[in-house]
Structures are given as C-alpha cells and as structure tokens.
A and B are shown apart, each in its own frame.
Chain A
Amino acid sequence: MLQPYIPVLLLILFVAANAVMMIVVSHYAAPRRPTPLKDAPYESGMPPLGSARERFSVKFYLVAMLFIVFDIETVFLFPWGTIFFGDAGAGPGMGFLLVEMLVFMVILAVGYVYVWKRRALEWD
C-alpha cells in the first residue's frame, strides 16, 4: 500500500544525506581563517544584535509581491499541465483548455508589461 511513497522516502534520505555531506565536507575540507565577523551568526551582512524595529525599504516588499504573483502563475500551470498532457487525452475540449490558459497568460503578461514600463523591476 505504501509502495508509491518509496520514491518520496528516497528523496528525503537523499536530501538529508546531501545536507549532512555539505556541512561535514566543508567542515573538514575548507580552509579556515576565522575573524570575529565571520564567527557571527548568519554572517549575511546584517548586524545580528540591535533593535527589531527597523524600517525596511518598500522595494523589498514590491519585489516579494511580484515574485509571489509570478510564482503563483507557475503553480497554476502545473495542474493545468497534468490535465492537458495527461490522462484526459485529446478530447474536443482541448482547444478551449489551451485558449483558457493562454488568456490567463495574456492577462499576466499585460500586468508584466505594466510593471516593466512603470520601472517596478528596477532597484533605483
């Protein structure tokens, strides 16, 4: 009964092994020249200690929103793809199915053109 889930199990094992391998190998193989800055947690250019009430540039939110919009587009494409290319076969409704998805893409493309022209994709 659980047979179909074996690939998932394999994937989990592979991911876990991969993560452990990356940490272990870099621990032993990488050259180490520690500085106080490098030993700080996260080491991502942000001071790790300080007030949490900081203001972030609104641009971050804009990029995040645009990312989500176009990410959702891809998410919608997957179930559509499984029906279009999958078991439904080439029925009479397939043309309509294609047109429907094209309409969806065109609407998103119009939004994309707008975002591009209004320079929302440029950082400065």
Chain B
Amino acid sequence: MSLDLSIPRGLLLALLPELVLTGWAMILLLFVAWRHRTTRDLRVAGGITAVALVTTAATVWWLWWNQAGVAGIAQMVAVDDYRWVTDWLFLGAAGLTVLVSFEYLERERLLAPEYYVLLLFAVIGMMLMGGAEDLMVLFLGLELMSIAVYVLAGFDRRNPRAAEAALKYFLIGAFASGFLLYGIALIYGATGTTNLSLVGVQVDSLRLGSDPMLLIGLGLLLVGFAFKVAAVPFHMWAPDVYDGAPTPVTAFMATGVKAAAFAALFRVLTEAFPQAGAWREIVAGLAILTMVAGNLVALAQRSLKRMLAYSSIAHAGYLLVAVATGTSAGTAAFLVYLVAYTLMTLGAFALLAAKGRGGESDVLIDDLAGLASRRPWLAFALAVCMLSLLGFPGTAGFIAKWYILLAAAGVGEWLLAAILVLTSVVSAGYYLPVIMVMYMKPEPFEQAHTGVKLGRLAGVAVAAAVAGILYFGVRPNGLLDLAKETGVGVKPVPTFTVEPSGR
C-alpha cells in the first residue's frame, strides 16, 4: 500500500495510529472530567487506557501488514517498518506500565485518573518522535511527551521528593529543548529545509559535511538528545528524578521516554547526516563516558532504585555504541537492544514497586535479604531481570549485547567493543549482589517481607517481561529477523538534488 502524503486520505492513513490514540485520549479526558473520585473510576480509566493501547497497536499492525509506504519523499511523517516497530515498543512499554500502575496507584492513594490521560499523551508524543521525518514534528512529539512526563514525575504531590524530581526534570528538560531547537534552527539555516531526507540530500549535494553552521547545529542537536537520553556528562538530573518519581513512572521514563529519544536520535543521524561523519566520534565519546561513569557510580549505590537509575544510564551508553556504528547492522542491534532493555528494566522496576512503600526510594539492596525463601517467584523474577541486565547468556540481555558487539566490530570500532565488554564485567559488581543477597543471606528478622505483594495485574506484567527475556534469550531469531528487515529501511534517500528554498 503506497500512500500519497499530499492528499488528505494518504495523510490520514499515515497518521492513523496517532489519530486513534488521540481520540482515545480525548474520550478518557472527558470521562475523567466527570468521574474522578473513587477507586472504581480509577480502574475504569485504567481499563480504557489498556483498550486504547491495544487498538492502537492493532492499527499499527494493520499498516505494517499492508506494507504501507510512501510514494516519493516522506513529508513530515515517515511510513516505514522502523516507525511501526518503535510504535509497538512504546505501546508495549506503556501497556506494561499501566498493568503495574493499576494496583500501585490504589496502594499509594494516588487516586487521580488523570495519570492515565497523561500516559496516553506521552505515548502519542513518543510515536510522533519515532515516526518524525521532519525536525519540527520531532520537536512537537518531544514536547508533547516531555510535558506529560514532567507532570507524571511529580504525580505524588504530597511527597516533596517527587515535587523536587518534577521541578528538576522540568528545568533540565526545558533547557535541553532549547538546545535542540537552536540546533534545528541552525540546521535549517545551513540546508534550507527541516525534512530529514532533504537535509541528507542537501548535505550531500552542497558538500556541507564540514560547514560550520551545520556542524554547530548538529552539535546542539546532539547535546539536546544527550540530555534526554541521560548520557554522561548530561546525566546529572537522571538519578534524582528517577529516584523521586513514583516507581511505575520511573519505569516508564527509563524505558519509553529513553527509547523514544533514542529512536528519534537514530533516525535523525542515519537519515539526515550520513555525509557529516563528525557525529560518529562525538557519539562514540559520549558512549565511552556513559558506559564508564554509569557503571562505576552504580557500584557505589546502596538504594535499589538509585542503582537501577545508574544502571539505566549505563545502558544508554551501550545503546550509544549501536548508534555510533551508523550501519544497518547497528540499527538491527539497536532495536533488539531496545526491546530487551525495555523488558528487563520494566520487570525490575515493577518488582521494586512490589517491595517498597511511599516511593520506594528507601529500599536498600540489603533489605532484600532472604527474599528467596519467603517469595521464591518474586526472587526468581528479579534474578532473571538482573542477569539479563548484566548480559548473562540465555537471556535477552546477552543476545542484545552480543549483536551490539557484532555491529561495533563490523565497522572496526574495537575500542568501543572493548569498553562495552569491560564495563559489563564491572556491572556484575552491582547486579550480582542483588541475587546473592536474595538467595544467600538469611532474613534479618521474622516477617521482614510480609508487606511484599505483587498485585495480580502487576504479576502479569512481570511474568510477561520475564517470559520475554527468557524466550528472546533462547530463540531470538524472530526478533532478529524483524529488526534486520526494519534496519534496511532507515537510510537516506539516494541521489537526487533539490533546489534550496529561497525563503
């Protein structure tokens, strides 16, 4: 099915998933306007959210199944497999977050169904980011996502730590948006277009590969993205924000928001700047810093939530290695890693939400002592998540890391590959103690784990995540094939020239 984006019908079909989800978000907002008092309203809102996510995923599937594509250059939105796969990823992350949130919101008395409305708006923003073929659409999606997530981060209004997290996130986010927007302005100044493919064509045909204005714009763009994905040295906000936000929101930020920023970054770099190779060294440098600093600082953490926050920074470093390769093998590895990372991080945070109370920021790793004898299944699930985060063979984390290594080796980035392996060894120093404490240390006192309870729906989410980690760890072929086919599609439009617009 080839869509003509210059006529309304083609445009509507191309934007169908976003339109469906926006429609659901509106319905939910109206529902919430009238019904927002009881726990029953909260549950109904959660149910509507789940239905919205499922129907949107089905719409994406329909477009994917019909092999939707564009005639000519894509204007504003891309219509390719990369967009569908990332859409599924965002919808899946949001779906698991909803399952975890169901009981969490009731337990923590956060009885405001607006939570789900904000979640849906954030997902719409993410989908626009993953599918943006134009820097303006990218910025629009980024803002839509970010503003919703700023509010979600401070959703526990009575908790001063959550308020601090939200304010910090908002200020840093606004700052990063400024960088990004300035970068977009300079790129427009250098090339005369904001369309990603056309920027690529212009850079190629006008030989702008070392044009100062373009490079400064690209640099500012990278700074903006580095803030959003929490790459060192732009990561300072992340531990505090992840720590202060309610745990399901933290899980959503660490997976969905990060995946969206990465998805957009990857598309921008591979489609618009294949000829301006300067970004490869910058991204490689960011990757090295992020891997080293993230892993080393995570070693020193006592609190489980902060440890997971630094671990998510370290994983951003691994993903940056895949971005730095800039090949289609890199794209495939990147997508596989995003899927694996989303599953294991969401699983770990969901289990943390079951253990803790009042934001969970005070759960130390040592508090898990003896969990295996009291709650064997919980301990097993957490152990699987930790092993996968470490990259242990037999888990999705191993396969994903392996493919990033292959992609890095394929372009001769031996330094990146070596640092990835070394820092993964270091990460054993903070992932394995969690397992050791659970299985080898005795319960500190009787009934230390009585309050630990995973709700039924959160249990489904954790079970799905663990099953996914183990399944993709043993049989990754289907996922890999999908990722490889997808990776081929993201590339610059081949040779043809466009006159720069005079305005």
A contact set with B: CB distance below 8 Å: 93, 96, 99, 106-107, 110-111, 113-114, 116-118
Contacting pair A110 B29 (CB below 8 A): yes
At the interface, yes or no: B33 with Cβ under 8 Å from chain A?
A: yes
Contacting pair B33 A114 (CB below 8 A): yes
A116 contacts which chain B residues (CB < 8 A)?
Answer: 33
At the interface, yes or no: B32 with Cβ under 8 Å from chain A?
A: yes
CB-based nearest A residue for B8: A96
Roughly how many angstroms separate A93 CA and B29 CA in the complex, as a whole number?
Answer: 31
Roughly how many angstroms separate A118 CA and B32 CA in the complex, as a whole number?
Answer: 9
Report the minimum CB–CB distance from B116 to chain A (whole Å).
Answer: 13
Map CB proximity to A onto B16-32 as digits: 1 under 8 Å, 0 otherwise.
00000010001001101
Residues in B11-58 with C-beta less than 8 Å from chain A: 22, 26, 29-30, 32-34, 36
A117 contacts which chain B residues (CB < 8 A)?
Answer: 33-34
B8 contacts which chain A residues (CB < 8 A)?
Answer: 93, 96, 99
Contacting pair B33 A118 (CB below 8 A): yes
B33 contacts which chain A residues (CB < 8 A)?
Answer: 113-114, 116-118
> Which of A96, A99, A106, A116 lies at the interface centre, i.e. has the most chain B CB atoms within 10 A of its CB?
A96
- Chosen A-B contacts, 21 in total, with CB atoms closer than 8 Å, are A93-B8, A96-B8, A99-B8, A106-B26, A107-B22, A107-B26, A110-B26, A110-B29, A110-B30, A111-B29, A113-B30, A113-B33, A114-B29, A114-B30, A114-B32, A114-B33, A116-B33, A117-B33, A117-B34, A118-B33, A118-B36
B contact set with A: CB distance below 8 Å: 8, 22, 26, 29-30, 32-34, 36
Q: Which 10 A-B pairs have the closest CB atoms?
A: A117-B33, A96-B8, A114-B33, A110-B26, A114-B29, A110-B29, A113-B33, A110-B30, A117-B34, A118-B33
Roughly how many angstroms separate A99 CA and B36 CA in the complex, as a whole number?
Answer: 31
Roughly how many angstroms separate A113 CA and B28 CA in the complex, as a whole number?
Answer: 12
B29 contacts which chain A residues (CB < 8 A)?
Answer: 110-111, 114
Report the minimum CB–CB distance from B475 to chain A (whole Å).
Answer: 44
Report the minimum CB–CB distance from A44 to chain B (whole Å).
Answer: 30
A110 contacts which chain B residues (CB < 8 A)?
Answer: 26, 29-30
B32 contacts which chain A residues (CB < 8 A)?
Answer: 114
Report the minimum CB–CB distance from B31 to chain A (whole Å).
Answer: 10
Roughly how many angstroms separate A99 CA and B12 CA in the complex, as a whole number?
Answer: 12
A118 contacts which chain B residues (CB < 8 A)?
Answer: 33, 36
> Which of A107, A114, A116 lies at the interface centre, i.e. has the most chain B CB atoms within 10 A of its CB?
A114
